[in-house]
Amino acid sequence: METDSSRTGYFVGKLRPETFRKLSRQLYMADLDNITADDKLCCDGSVKTLIVYYNGKKKYIKSMFPPDELRDLLATLYGICEDENLLRTDKHFRLEH
């Protein structure tokens, strides 16, 4: 298995207003205060981790099978990651400490 080094590393960019509105709406619709995910692990599948900071809170979801309510949100986040307008940067940053 080969790693796609063109998409590995640190990137910066700015969301288009329509993408930001879409992302904000999906975060609202996900009902983060009440959503739960199946934390059971099995087989040789990938584990998805989503950490959202909102309203002074932190929601941590780690699951092989994220709830259906997160499907559109995850698709939008993957789309942002695939955006060709992101610029590679040498500045390293940590999302979690």
User: What integer is the mean pLDDT of 35-42?
Assistant: 84
Average pLDDT, the chain: 85
* The model's pTM: 0.75
Q: Residue type at 13? A: G
The pLDDT assigned to 23 comes to 92
Q: Is the pLDDT of residue 6 over 90?
A: no
The pLDDT assigned to 59 comes to 92
State the Cα–Cα distance between residues 76 and 26, nearest whole angstrom: 9
CB 64 within 8 A of CB 48: yes
